[in-house]
Amino acid sequence: MEKFLIMSKSTTDSSFGVKPYERPIEEHIDKGVINLDKPSGPTSHEVDSWVRRILKSEKTGHGGTLDPKVTGVLPIGINNATRVIQLLLPAPKEYVCLMRLHKDLSEDRIHDIFNEFQGKIFQTPPLRSAVKRELRVRNVYYSNILEISGRDILFKIGCEAGTYVRTYCHDIGEALGTGAHMAELRRTQVGPFNENKDLITLQDLTDGFYYWYEEGDESYLRKCILPMETAADFLPKVIIRDSAVDAICHGANLATGGILELSENIKKGETVAIFTLKGELVASAETLFNLEDIIGSSSGIVFDTKKVFMKPGTYPMMWK
């Protein structure tokens, strides 16, 4: 459970804002994200457009493209939440992969090489990637072999955003001297989204929308669509006064006087999520100082606002 430091006594006026899970259904959809289980076959962009048509929404956006044959977690933001989903692009990812060796090899040798391909590794993106093909460093947090059956190796990998698992398999094959390729891949986690909680299919979403739109039962759709705040759960948090909210909505930077609570794991240069006392996401910001300097400061700007997600006027103007 995340720990918070209290900077000042919490005060709130219940007439301002609304708790994320208590929004009216139309607003819940407009500020919603979906933890979608992408099927094999369509592109991420096609799945994106299907969600848009199912919900009759104006726009949608996904967090982290998956190749057509790859399945698994594909977070999608709806309408006002499409910008929030961009926070997930640098988030850590987890995959379960089936790798196939091109020659037989002892299990001991396979385990030894896997141990070497953890921590900081060098990668060159594949030919069909959307980024420039140049050598770069990526961090593999863990790479655990789940099962070995002949030339097939099933493993789970947790890695930094921008790590190519297909290239990872190829490079391990080169190191083993046998050659190898990625046979199947499933993404099991993107930041706070994983396959063990709130994962839905396109059919689930279709059914949920039908029950609400045609029969007036919104309960199932509420289970399919999560508040946009969910997409920021993996970031360090800053909770601010009601009186500071509208200023942040207008792009102002955050000073210590507007802070009520903040996460204990905040570091200089990191991205944080700014919330109201009711748990509404206001903006993302860059931390300008380490935690001890923020605590020791009685005044001054400590967070540089980068992206604003709440509309101005949601909370009353209490600034000049």
What residues are annotated to the active site?
A: 67
CA distance 168 to 9: 50
Containing H/E element for 136? strand 136-149
Q: In what order do the strands lie in the sheet with 281-287?
A: 4-6, 259-263, 237-240, 271-275, 281-287, 301-308, 254-255
Cα(289)–Cα(303) distance, rounded to whole angstroms? 8
Beta carbons within 8 Å of 278's beta carbon, 6+ residues apart = 12, 16, 17, 18, 19, 20
Instruction: Mention every residue, 6+ apart, whose C-beta is less than 8 A from residue 108.
Output: none
* d(C-alpha 155, C-alpha 101), whole Å: 13
Relative to beta strand 271-275, strand 237-240 is: parallel
**3-state SS class at 19:** coil
